[in-house]
Amino acid sequence: MNWYQELAKPSWAPQPQVFGQVWGVLYPIIFVAYGYVAFRVFKGEFPKALLVPIAINLLANFAFTPIQFGWRNLPLAVVDILIVLVTIVWSIVAFWPYSKISALALVPYLVWVSIATVLQTSIWQLNR
């Protein structure tokens, strides 16, 4: 984490503890929204195609920390977070006809990842 602390960041970058607090709220929401849709898919009530954005999103989300902090690869972290962002939008659009509540539950996740995407891109640009 010392490496990350030493990076140049935009003046509006949240304090490090904010990330943990926000994710602490978002992860249960994501779990419930994605879990509900996955449960209904496995019961045969929703199409299996709904699992594709869920799977890609979760893989990309979990890959971010090793890419950013393990490999310290800022440009790859930007690509990864863009994948997370796109798959959130994809999930919302795909879920809407089947579960509007699950789609709407992902909106806070979308807002946070949108901010995080701009932040990550800014950090990459400031440290090139």
pLDDT digits (tens, 9 = 90+) for 3-23: 999 999 999 999 999 999 999
- C-alpha–C-alpha distance, residues 61 and 110, integer Å: 12
Q: Does residue 7 lie within any of the structural domains? A: no
pLDDT-flagged residues of the chain (< 70): 1
Give the residue numbers spanning the domain of 75: 19-126
Provide the number of structural domains found in the chain: 1
Smallest CA-to-CA distance from 124 within 85, 88, 72 is with: 72
pLDDT of residue 1: 66
Write the pLDDT tens digit of every residue in 67-80. 999 999 999 999 99
Residue 14 lies in a domain: no
Q: Which residues of 85-114 are buried (b: 16+ CB within 10 A; e: fewer)?
A: bbbbebbbebbeebbeebbebbeebeebbe
In a domain, 70, yes or no: yes
pTM above 0.75, yes or no: yes
Residue 12 lies in a domain: no
Q: Is residue 3 domain-resident?
A: no
| Rounded (10°) angle between helices 16-42 and 51-65 | 150
